[in-house]
Structure 1
């Protein structure tokens, strides 16, 4: 723990209380504090301390919990147990592993809001969000598609600009899907040059800002097999993707393509770029999850603060069993610290 006191901690928002988030937070603390440290700083969890204690006990995880009153208490408390900062304005939460309950949605939302305040105020170095269950939030009147849109809304509400872009990373591969949660049949109709340019611009900017890559090389995947093969297998490359690449190049972004996706992700190809702009969800996520299924990280670029998340869901079936794996959370914490350190070195 030497040298940790002078570093701002990372903050975890509790996510869905019926899922595995609370357990893997405890497991990540145990790995850092008692087994094989992976960070040079501490982290805290925004949640109901009584619920965290009950869940860890139910899962037969011998992990102490320390209730703290302020973020600044985190480094000292971390040596004793998992630091938990109680949510403001939220009452006790039920210990109901595997259950999705609308009556916990307000607390889930409050955890995200309060965590964002801590990073925007500079008290915390970065935010790592534990997985949420959208259906319970929607039932309680949540008006956002998910974490990403809500985080951007909170940043804008606080007076900051935000252009959120989802990036998935694992095994040294970074992928940004231009279209995300839509049917594959909708992708050709909804793919736009403007979206490719916007996301490519944010990607290039934040690879420099958060990752210290001065001149990022961005490969752009084609949509069709063989990248359209000169129009024989589709015209989206010529009509949508190529103009977008030209527009990015005109702004100084080192973008190139469109490239056939079937030859874009092997080891030798990955050495030629720093990130890939993919045209649809699975084109980005399949190679990332193939490289490291348990260690993938979801990063939100385009925000005024560091945000990462495990690249998995709430895993309700594993909640309360103690059998969940913390690998992806540990990778998300590790990456959040790396991004925070890059900002700190730049004096941001």
Structure 2
């Protein structure tokens, strides 16, 4: 049963990620039916102020040895490398050997990956650092589409607030949904969040400067709302459809159909964020033709429905622009299976 939680901090301390763990496990909420947790703040350099930037410091009162018998050891985002790396790695391995679990928030996944416990297993981190994690630890399976991944005995979570999702998932697993919901209510956060990280990834502006296909790409962007076939594009490029598709893939890096779908989804994201037009109208303007087709492609690319995306990222006065019949997204804790 989860009772004792140790947090290992090193300089520079990521305050928000550290605060997430403290908020879930470090406050007395027994009056709400939440069991008491013992929270131990540990460091390779106990008693030494650890800089977190902007003049703020964290002082860990406990050495790493205090974490050895904890039920859970949490690693907030912090340095991927440190002079104490070997000592931290040995501590984490011993915690697991004694039956404890590990949880990382954001870049804390780098420290856990250094133990080898993630070799051959799925894990996640902030989408911005996913490629670096995969390059540093090629035996891991990095999935940056999700909010967290539970690969017993390790839970890795994505950037910043995704640590809340991972912590509440663990509380729910160990103490049941009523306890997790009580903590979520006090924190004023949803006990489950729909979707994954994809909805938060900034979509890149397409590069239409390619010498061979620049003009074709620009024309496609200007005519997203029309029915575009590979044959149409091939005729504009004065090629056969087969040659065009092959050369397009070689030069652009993907098929004409996939590139066109990606740009239609990107345009839909922009419209959902900046306008209050209905979902059917969005579908027509971006070239999907129907709300059903838009939902299919949008959900596959972004991880949530158009209506859920607009609720989250649209201007406040556009929140009521949802179209009846759009089912939104099923509320799931991405990572629990994601």
Same fold per TM (> 0.5)?
no
TM-score (norm 2): 0.36
Q: Using CA pairs below 8 Å that are at least 6 residues apart, which structure has the higher relative contact order? A: 1
